[in-house]
Structure 1
Amino acid sequence: MEYAKPLPGYLVQRYHGWKATSYKENEVWYRRLATDGQHPRAMVVSCCDSRVHVTSIFGADQGEFFIHRNIANLIPPYEDSGNRHGTSAAIDYAVNVLKVAHLIVLGHSQCGGVQGCIDMCEGLAPELEAKESFIGRWMDILRPKYDQVANIKDRAEQARELERQTVVVSLENLMTFPFVASAVKDNSLSLHGLWTNIGEGGLECYDPKQGRFHQV
């Protein structure tokens, strides 16, 4: 492999700084994690967005969360396992192997994937309509929810509402997985939908009975 390059110098320096401080101060804990394996209580599906820092929001340590990240924190509907599907595989592992008690879908403000979906639905992003567009075909998961926000005139509010719908559609799709539905039914797994405002540090939780989000 001739294309892989050495790590940038600033990352090397950060690694050595971490190894000499955080790791050294908690070496016993890291070694215990390595030997005992992982036993997270919750899985979190969040966006790839670099501004969404799941462990910081909840003050979590290593080993607490099983985290999967993808564009716009979307979960597709259940499909045959013959399809390569990283998100479905992560859910399968979390529920059936790790036996997590909680599965959290975390959406966020200013989501680029959601804005791309809006642009696509409004005919402003023909490149996302192309069959070979990975982003476009992934955002097709959210596309049916656009009708619920199409009439919102305020563009910022429209985006925020569709961001919240990424959480709703993902929760709906989770229940199409037979093993998830079974675990929810026997109360060994609970599903949670959250949306966070990056700039304000706010966190909202989805209430399925009322069909809306409320501040935590």
Structure 2
Amino acid sequence: MHRAKPLPSYLVQRYHGWKATTYSENSAWYRRLADEGQRPRAMVISCCDSRVHVTSIFGADQGEFFIHRNIANLVPPYQPDGNQHGTSAAVEYAVTALKVAHLIVLGHSSCGGVQGCLDMCTGKAPALEEASSFVGRWMDILRPGYERVKSRNLGESEAASALEREAVLVSLDNLMTFPFVEEAVLAGKLSLHGLWTDIGAGGLEYYDTATERFLPI
């Protein structure tokens, strides 16, 4: 690779600041993590959105969460077809190797990926319909959620918010198509959780199976 360049100076400065403070004050903990390996209690599947800061929301330290991020926090259905599946591989490793006790899908407000799906499904984003669009083909995972939202005849902003929550529900449904996830859930070794966070208000909601609604935490 001949096109890689040195880090921007502001990132270099931040690294040195972290090394001199946070790392220096907790160096024994970092060495223990390195020597003993990771034993996270939970996996979190969240969006790539830079505004969603999973560890800050829960005050988590290094080693607590196994985190996987992708566009719109989606999990595809179980499909061992020989292609490369980053999200499916992360789920497999978390459940079968790390044996996490909790698997959390975290959606969020103002999600660009979800808005892209909404635009694509309503004919406003023809570029996403192209077979060559990685984002469009990824957002196809959310089409079942869009069909449910469509039937509710909501306004545009309400539809986007509803589809953000559907992204969580679609992912939870798809997780149960993985045999090793279903086995762990039925054995009581793994719990699935659906969350949605409001970035601006700092709110957090969870999906309540009894009422089939997202409720404030």
- Name the TM-score class by shorter chain: over 0.9
Output the amino acid matched with 1:187.
Answer: G
Q: Any idea what SS the aligned residue of 2:141 has?
A: coil
Q: Any idea what SS the aligned residue of 1:66 has?
A: strand
- Asked if structure 1 preserves the Cα contact closer than 8 Å seen for 2:193 and 2:207, the reply is yes
Question: Which residue pairs with 1:183 in the alignment?
Answer: 184
Question: Which residue pairs with 1:154 in the alignment?
Answer: 155
Question: Which residue pairs with 1:174 in the alignment?
Answer: 175
Q: CA deviation at 1:207?
A: 1.2
Cα 1:152–1:199 shift into 2, 3 Å = farther
Q: CA deviation at 1:148?
A: 2.0
Q: Any idea what SS the aligned residue of 1:142 has?
A: helix
Q: CA deviation at 1:208?
A: 2.0
Q: Distance in 1 between the 2:62 and 2:158 partners?
A: 35
Question: Which residue pairs with 1:206 in the alignment?
Answer: 207
Question: Which residue pairs with 1:143 in the alignment?
Answer: 143
Q: Distance in 2 between the 1:172 and 1:144 partners?
A: 11
Question: Which residue pairs with 1:193 in the alignment?
Answer: 194
Q: Distance in 2 between the 1:56 and 1:155 partners?
A: 30
Question: Which residue pairs with 2:87 in the alignment?
Answer: 87
Aligned length, in residue pairs: 216
C-alpha distance after superposition, 1:31-73 (max 9, x if no partner): 0110010000000000000000000000000000000000000
Q: Distance in 2 between the 1:11 and 1:126 partners?
A: 37
Percent identity of the aligned residues?
Answer: 71
Output the amino acid matched with 1:203.
Answer: L
Matched, 1:163 2:164: yes
Gaps of 5+ in 2: none
Question: Which residue pairs with 2:8 in the alignment?
Answer: 8
Q: Distance in 1 between the 2:120 and 2:86 partners?
A: 24
Question: Which residue pairs with 2:47 in the alignment?
Answer: 47
Q: Distance in 1 between the 2:144 and 2:104 partners?
A: 22
Q: CA deviation at 1:139?
A: 0.2
Q: CA deviation at 1:153?
A: 3.6
- Asked if structure 1 preserves the Cα contact closer than 8 Å seen for 2:72 and 2:113, the reply is yes
Question: Which residue pairs with 1:110 in the alignment?
Answer: 110
Question: Which residue pairs with 1:99 in the alignment?
Answer: 99
Q: Any idea what SS the aligned residue of 1:75 has?
A: coil
Question: Which residue pairs with 2:132 in the alignment?
Answer: 132
Output the amino acid matched with 2:103.
Answer: L
Q: Any idea what SS the aligned residue of 2:62 has?
A: coil
Q: Any idea what SS the aligned residue of 2:110 has?
A: coil
Q: Distance in 2 between the 1:105 and 1:190 partners?
A: 11
Output the amino acid matched with 2:61.
Answer: D
TM-score for the superposition, normalised by structure 1: 0.98
Question: Which residue pairs with 1:37 in the alignment?
Answer: 37
C-alpha distance after superposition, 1:157-192 (max 9, x if no partner): 111100000000000000000000000000000000
Gaps of 5+ in 1: none
Output the amino acid matched with 1:177.
Answer: F
TM-score for the superposition, normalised by structure 2: 0.98
Output the amino acid matched with 1:24.
Answer: S
Output the amino acid matched with 2:162.
Answer: E
Output the amino acid matched with 1:174.
Answer: L
C-alpha distance after superposition, 1:100-140 (max 9, x if no partner): 00000000000000000000011000000000100000000
Higher alpha-carbon deviation: 86-95 or 205-214 = 205-214
Q: Distance in 1 between the 2:81 and 2:154 partners?
A: 41
